[in-house]
Amino acid sequence: MAENGVKKATILIVDDEKIYLDVLIGILNPEYRILLARSGEEALRRLQGGSRPDLILLDLFMPGIDGYETCRRIKEDPTTHDIPLIFLTSHDDVEGETFGLGLGAVDYITKPISPPTVKARIHTHLALRRARRELERQNEVLEQRVKERTRSLRQVGAELVLAEERERRRIARELHDGPIQRLVLSKINLGRLKSGLEAGQCRDIDNISETIDTTLKELRTLMVQVSPPVLYELGLGPAVEWLAESVLSGHGIRFRVDSAESYDRLKEETRVFLFRAIRELMLNIVKHARAGRASVSINTSEGDLLIEVRDDGVGMIEPVNSRPGVNGGFGLFVLRDRIDMLGGKLSIEVNGGTCVTLRVPIST
């Protein structure tokens, strides 16, 4: 430990010549903590034994394995590959220097050794290593913040889905308990009124009754569209089948739904979102695809729920990342964004029609 409380950097010197070891120790003491090895084999044993120097000075030509081979093994080891390594050599060999740098060395120092040169280069490469480590630390902090932010956004997204669905169910309940019930009561009262009138006086009442029936049908349809009870009573699979009958068949598109499971293991917000997403994809088929056939399959694969919505229409024209409202796009940007928040993935394949695949973790 240095006098000012800052930990000394550790330097491993690898050289078989005592004269150069003594010179380097004299230059680097007491600023650095020094480790010594007199061969490549000894240096590797030190490193494998847990020594983790901040920098290595490695003689190029030694008995046994030479500096090149020692460097190669150090750089192949994931526990030591990031330690900066400087070659020591008494030869001025451009090709050898290039080869050594290619193995992962960061610099060369030529013998006879110049103390100012040694100190300057060691200082430079230790500073670069500290800067790299600090950058890596900051990247880790940023990645952690991104993960925390993503978790927060997913939670907010889930809460928004549930809040929207609660509001939809409230509106549907008020439609049922308010206007629909009053219209039913009005129709009953009209029936009572009609029973006391002559046949010729009933035409206007019949017209009013037909208008009430039409309005009741429209309100009930709207109530189901706002918050379909089948999604809560029977689950996702049957709800999608009902949705296909309502959306696709109603526009003359033949369809097939391959799923009858409720998938009740899905969280409520995920189930609601997927139902809404499939509905939007079906509406896109109706509005844009000019398709005659469509299919929806819901399966499980490796812990994920896999949903495929296919059609035989004209294919996707807008780019996948187009935002809603741009050139009449399908609004897939929002859908992709929400799928990402659930930890899933959206993909699109266009080949004689369009296939949109949604993959979402079942545990989401």
Cβ(253)–Cβ(285) under 8 Å?
Answer: yes
Q: How confident is the model at residue 69 (pLDDT cuts 50, 70, 90)?
A: very high
Q: What distance in Å separates the CA atoms of residue 304 and residue 312, rounded to the nearest whole number?
A: 26
Model confidence at 89: pLDDT above 80: yes
- What is the three-class DSSP state of 254? strand
What pLDDT, in 10s, does the model give residues 95-142?
888 999 999 999 999 999 999 999 999 999 999 999 999 999 999 999
Dihedral angle sign, alpha carbons of residues 177, 182, 185, 187: negative
Instruction: Pull the structure tokens for residue 77.
Output: 């080891």
pLDDT of amino acid 228: 83
* Residue recorded with tokens 């060369």: 108
What pLDDT, in 10s, does the model give residues 307-320?
999 999 887 654 44
Model confidence at 321: pLDDT above 60: no
| Largest distance between two CA atoms of the chain | 129
- What is the three-class DSSP state of 136? helix
* Residue recorded with tokens 């699979």: 237
Backbone angles phi, psi at 57, to 5 degrees: -105, 120
- The pTM (predicted TM-score) of the whole model is 0.53
What pLDDT, in 10s, does the model give residues 262-309?
677 788 878 888 888 898 899 989 988 889 999 999 998 888 899 999
What pLDDT, in 10s, does the model give residues 210-231?
999 999 988 888 887 788 888 8
Model confidence at 16: pLDDT above 80: yes
Terminal-residue alpha carbon distance, the chain: 50
What pLDDT, in 10s, does the model give residues 333-361?
678 777 877 788 898 888 888 999 999 88
More confidently predicted of 154 and 9: 9
pLDDT of amino acid 55: 97
Cβ(125)–Cβ(85) under 8 Å?
Answer: no
Backbone angles phi, psi at 184, to 5 degrees: -60, -45
Cβ(103)–Cβ(97) under 8 Å?
Answer: no
